[in-house]
Amino acid sequence: MSIIQVDQLTKTFSRPIRGTGAIGAIRDLINRRYEEKTAVDHISFTIERGEIVGYLGPNGAGKSTSIKMLVGILVPTSGEVRVDSEIPYKNRRENARKIGVVFGQRSQLWWDIPVSETFELMKCMYNIPAVDFKRNMELFTDVLGIQDFMHVAVRQLSLGQRMRADLCAALLHNPSIVYLDEPTIGLDVVVKKKIREFLLEVNAQRQTTILLTTHDMSDVEKLCSRVIIINNGRKMFDGDLDRLKSDYSAGETMILHVDHEIGLDRDISHLGVTDFTYHPESGSIQLRYDKRQAKPASILAWFMERTAVHDFEIKPAEVEDVIRDIYQDSTSCGLGEAQ
Amino acid sequence: MNVYYKLMLNAVQSSTVYRFHTFVTTFQRLIGIFVQISLWTALYKGAQSFQMEITQASLQEMWMYVVYSSLIGLMVANGNIYSLSDKIQTGHIVTALIRPIGLFRSLLFETLGSKVFMILFEIIPVLIVSHFVLGLPLPNIEAIPVFMIMLIMAFTTFFLMTFIVGMSSFWYIRTFHLEFMLTHVMNFFSGLMIPLWFFPRELRAVMDWLPFDLVYYAPLSVLLGKAKYAEIGVMLAKGCVWIALLAAAAVMIWHLGKRKLVIQGG
Amino acid sequence: MPHPFRLYGRFLRTYMKTQLEYRFSFFGDIFVNMMTFVTLYLSFWVLFNTFPTMNGWNYWEVVFLYNLNLLTYATSSLFFWGPMKQLEHLVRSGEFDQFLVRPLDPLKLLVFRQFQHTFIGHIIVAGTVMVLCTIQLEIHWTTGNIAFLLLCVLGGTLIQAGIIITAASSAFWVVRSGTVVDISIYAIRNFINYPISIYGRSIQLLLTFVIPYAFVNYYPAAAFFGKDHAGSSELSHLYSYSSLAVGAALFAAAVWIFRRGVMRYDSAGS
């Protein structure tokens, strides 16, 4: 039995249409019209216990709306969602005991008291047995190093410290599922690394299912075995990371270090170049092409005829580029089904 | 001069955005006026029932006092304390050292800009309501010139006071403590709620030396024709002295603040 | 003690401990709040220096009335002022979500995370002055009196809490709920700082049946001092003893309204 089952999940919002100008405003008073906006459009997927899934999509794609339905704070318009066999919005508080949520930049901790005290309060609120509590605190100390600021009031923590504290607080009651919304945003490299190690450790030890929303591609690469991409309320891709790369990695990037800028208004699309930009600070031209349709050698030759090229490099498809392509591909609907 | 004009325009434009906010504050203001008027009416009726004559002012004059006091409040209000404490605590005050416009002048023009909007959308409605609904007579035309002088003095005095309190942010984080105390001292000692002519002699003697009554009582007493020439002269003189003192204090505190910035890096 | 309240009790102990570490600002907050009253009592004193009576109420009675308002407001505000003022922002920014992912009722969660210690000064002053007033008025304390007063304070606190919760709950339906709150707890509450008999009948009706502020201080104090209410009759004597009932009913209604608001938030999103 999958721990998360989502079937044809849909959420539509009614938004009032605002009339323009004075006449419109008066008309609105008499006869309010609404338009339907579909934020989540018949999405289906299942997640097994212990998976770490990256839940990606551009802003406004419907990610947070669908997660809210999983967490139980939004009621779907149609479709089914089951978390651990229960319907989340029907039993919000029972569901809350089994999950942990970290909302990115917003802290859920008690603001004015030391971190250690917040944890004690959590212990009280979730009825965490002393044994589990102690074990978790040891884990947190080992991997995240929170003992350094345990006695400091949450209000005074730096962003990195607060993020770590929030993560601990979310995992303190051994939830079976954790939802992380942009957990590494604004953090420095060192802290990010610690957090990723921590998540992997928790996942390994307890089979905690993790659903991760992020724009940071290195998060995705380092943590996620599977990726679900949402755009315009629909599922665009659902599969493991390797498949994502192999299916969609036709796009490559070439970087040329040149003497001077070439009139890039010339039409070089006949070479198969999809986009190019000149970076004056580094004196380089960056361009992208589909390697199935273009020949890197021809492109290089073309440039060498027009300017002195000091150096070049070819970069294979980055996860970021792949995903950007999928985001921009609004004509396709629901490609790449899982399994 | 162009820069100052732009600052004012800016303030006017951002005021228009908060149209709803203005409507609400005017509504709250009218409620406050209503409560005060009910209060004075009850007090005067009570005196009447005791066959007591209130010689200092008539009930109708008190009604006018309440309304005009509220309007003067609108005219002298400024955002100095909030603006300064915000700038100082975020560190943006440093730009005041760099920019050619003086800090003082930019604060001034920001405030003046919002006054234009305020006159149109807050003062005039209140005047209209009080004249047509309450039947309050409009003030005596002869009193207006001196009143304007008093008003400018009131504005300046309060502007300097709030400037000084705002500057204290350099040394004391909890600026709102000082702001609170200033507000409540003002509420009582300035004649905002209760005209000074009701105060016992000893208390008045103390208040004569303090600058607070310049902000409300001075312009109000002139506007209502309650101040004799001698009194007006004294108030003007006191105003000049206090403005000079406050200005000196303001300059000094700004220098101290600047020094702190430069030495400690803000 | 039921579980969530134990949680709050624990938090309060920790919070006060932490606050007392910053002794200067903690006591500074309280001290400054207390200063505001010096000027207030002076104001009343000046008025009564000239005027003999306020609709049949003398200086000490009016000061008592004012403080009963203040005491109940401050007590309710210790717990509810912070989160209710914040609610508009929480709902509009979507931050309210975080209160729905815990195994605790969101209203309790909002309250149990904080404590507005700044109101402690108000409570000390209001309580002390009220006692002072009764001494000056030579009121004889009996167990009946004291019980009555305490129940009225409790009722009044519940009314204040009920009003601010209801006003804040408008955040779930209306955009500018912050103004609704401000108008309710500042502009309209201002009316009961004086005996409501100074206003016309329509205001009195408003303050009795629509926004029942009059039950917070006017009716109890009028009974306490043996005053005739504006338009008193047998029935109106009932009002004096109804503070607790009105408070309990209003508070329950407010909590219910809040819950309905959360349900709306659930289905409407933001």
Residue B218, pLDDT > 50, answer yes
C39: closest chain B residue by CA: B188
- Using one digit for the tens of pLDDT, what is the confidence trace for A37-63? 888 889 999 999 999 999 988 877 788
- Whether the CB-CB separation of A172 and A120 falls below 8 Å is answered with no
Interface test with C, best of B25, B173, B182, B188 (most C CBs within 10 A): B188
Whether there are 3 or more C-beta pairs closer than 8 Å between B and C is yes
What confidence category does residue C269 fall into, taking pLDDT thresholds of 50, 70 and 90? Answer: low
Q: Is C174 on the interface with B (CB under 8 A)?
A: no
Identify any residues that bridge with A52 across adjacent strands, giving them in sequence order. A210
Tell me if A180 is assigned to some domain. Answer: yes
- Whether the CB-CB separation of C20 and C26 falls below 8 Å is answered with yes
Q: Which of C219, B117, A312 is nearest to C228 (CA)?
A: C219
Tell me if A262 is assigned to some domain. Answer: yes
Highest mean pLDDT out of B66-70, B112-116, C247-251: C247-251
Look at residue B9 in the predicted model and tell me its pLDDT.
64
Distance CA C30, CA C118 (A): 6
Inter-axis angle of helices B59-76 and B144-167, nearest 10? 50
**Interface contact C114-A112, CB threshold 8 A:** yes
Domain boundary among A186, A216, A245: A245
Tell me if A68 is assigned to some domain. Answer: yes
Distance CA B42, CA B154 (A): 30
What confidence category does residue C228 fall into, taking pLDDT thresholds of 50, 70 and 90? Answer: low
Highest mean pLDDT out of A194-208, C62-76, C172-186: C62-76
Q: C98 or A335: which carries more pLDDT confidence? A: C98
- Range of lowest pLDDT (A104-113, A145-154, B191-200, C5-14): A104-113
Highest mean pLDDT out of A191-200, A248-257, A285-294, B107-116: A191-200
Tell me if A332 is assigned to some domain. Answer: no
A162 and A270 belong to one structural domain: no
The alpha carbon of residue C101 is apart from the nearest alpha carbon of chain A, in Å, by 5
**Interface contact A113-C269, CB threshold 8 A:** no
Report phi then psi at A84, rounded to 5.
Answer: 55, 45
Whether there are 3 or more C-beta pairs closer than 8 Å between B and A is no
Q: Is B187 on the interface with C (CB under 8 A)?
A: yes
Residues of C in contact with A120 (CB under 8 A): 10, 14
What is the value of ipTM here, to two decimals? Answer: 0.86
Nearest beta carbon to residue A103 from set C18, C98, C103: C98
A258 and A164 belong to one structural domain: no
Nearest beta carbon to residue C32 from set B38, B47, B181: B181
The alpha carbon of residue C168 is apart from the nearest alpha carbon of chain A, in Å, by 20
A108, A120, C18, C175 from A150: Cα distances, Å:
16, 11, 14, 39
- Residues of C188-199 as b/e, b for ≥16 C-beta within 10 angstroms? bbbbbbbbbbbb
**Interface contact B187-C25, CB threshold 8 A:** no
Look at residue A336 in the predicted model and tell me its pLDDT.
40
Distance CA B172, CA B166 (A): 10
- Range of lowest pLDDT (C160-169, C198-207, C221-230): C221-230
Residue A266's CATH number: 3.30.70
Residues of A in contact with C19 (CB under 8 A): 112
Domain boundary among A245, A279, A299: A245
Q: C253 or B9: which carries more pLDDT confidence? A: C253
What confidence category does residue A334 fall into, taking pLDDT thresholds of 50, 70 and 90? Answer: very low
A137 and A183 belong to one structural domain: yes
Q: Is C198 on the interface with B (CB under 8 A)?
A: yes
Residue A192, pLDDT > 80, answer yes
Look at residue C169 in the predicted model and tell me its pLDDT.
96
Tell me if A336 is assigned to some domain. Answer: no
Highest mean pLDDT out of A26-40, B19-33, B192-206: B192-206
A54 and A197 belong to one structural domain: yes
What confidence category does residue B240 fall into, taking pLDDT thresholds of 50, 70 and 90? Answer: very high
A202 and A167 belong to one structural domain: yes
What confidence category does residue A30 fall into, taking pLDDT thresholds of 50, 70 and 90? Answer: low
Mean pLDDT rounded to a whole number for chain C: 88
Residues of A in contact with C103 (CB under 8 A): 93-94, 96-97, 125-126
C108: closest chain A residue by CA: A125
Cα angle C260, C261, C267; round to 5: 95
The alpha carbon of residue C201 is apart from the nearest alpha carbon of chain B, in Å, by 12
What confidence category does residue A147 fall into, taking pLDDT thresholds of 50, 70 and 90? Answer: confident
Number of domains forming the structure of chain A: 2
**Interface contact A99-C101, CB threshold 8 A:** yes
Residue A87, pLDDT > 70, answer yes
Distance CA B94, CA B87 (A): 8
A12, A37, A62 from A17: Cα distances, Å:
15, 11, 21
- Whether the CB-CB separation of B30 and B129 falls below 8 Å is answered with yes
A21 and A138 belong to one structural domain: yes
Domain that holds residue A199: 4-245
Q: Is C188 on the interface with B (CB under 8 A)?
A: yes
Map out the domains of chain C as residue ranges.
3-268
What confidence category does residue A335 fall into, taking pLDDT thresholds of 50, 70 and 90? Answer: very low
- Using one digit for the tens of pLDDT, what is the confidence trace for C121-167? 889 989 999 999 989 988 888 888 889 899 999 999 999 999 999 99
Mean pLDDT rounded to a whole number for chain A: 81
B225 Rama class: left (phi>0) / alpha (psi -120 to 50) / beta: left
Chain C contact partners (≥3 CB pairs within 8 A): A, B
Q: Is C111 helix (H, G, I), strand (E, B) or coil?
A: helix
Interface test with C, best of A113, A120, A178 (most C CBs within 10 A): A113
Interface test with B, best of C43, C46, C119 (most B CBs within 10 A): C46
- Using one digit for the tens of pLDDT, what is the confidence trace for B68-82? 999 999 889 888 888
A266 and A221 belong to one structural domain: no
Look at residue C1 in the predicted model and tell me its pLDDT.
46
Tell me if A323 is assigned to some domain. Answer: no
A178 and A280 belong to one structural domain: no
Domain boundary among A245, A265, A294: A245
A32 and A110 belong to one structural domain: yes
Distance CA C74, CA A328 (A): 56
The alpha carbon of residue B186 is apart from the nearest alpha carbon of chain C, in Å, by 9
Look at residue A33 in the predicted model and tell me its pLDDT.
73
**Interface contact B180-C53, CB threshold 8 A:** no
Nearest beta carbon to residue A96 from set C101, C113, C268: C101
Look at residue B243 in the predicted model and tell me its pLDDT.
94
- Whether the CB-CB separation of A92 and A99 falls below 8 Å is answered with no
- % of chain B exceeding 90 in pLDDT: 28
Residues of C in contact with B177 (CB under 8 A): 28-29, 32
Residue A86's CATH number: 3.40.50.300
Nearest beta carbon to residue C43 from set B24, B188, B200: B188
A310 and A198 belong to one structural domain: no
Q: Compute the count of residue pairs across chains A and C with CB atoms less than 8 Å apart.
A: 76
A197 and A305 belong to one structural domain: no
Distance CA C157, CA C145 (A): 18
Look at residue B130 in the predicted model and tell me its pLDDT.
79
Q: Is A89 on the interface with C (CB under 8 A)?
A: yes
Residues of A in contact with C114 (CB under 8 A): 111-112
- % of chain A exceeding 70 in pLDDT: 86
Look at residue A47 in the predicted model and tell me its pLDDT.
92
Distance CA C78, CA C190 (A): 19
Name B225's Cβ contacts closer than 8 Å, sequence gap at least 6: B140, B143
A277 and A301 belong to one structural domain: yes
Q: Average of pLDDT values for A270-297?
A: 77
Cα C198 → chain centroid: 21
**Interface contact B39-C35, CB threshold 8 A:** no
What confidence category does residue A333 fall into, taking pLDDT thresholds of 50, 70 and 90? Answer: very low
Residue A338, pLDDT > 70, answer no
Tell me if A194 is assigned to some domain. Answer: yes
- Range of lowest pLDDT (A72-81, B175-184, C162-171, C190-199): B175-184
Look at residue A337 in the predicted model and tell me its pLDDT.
37
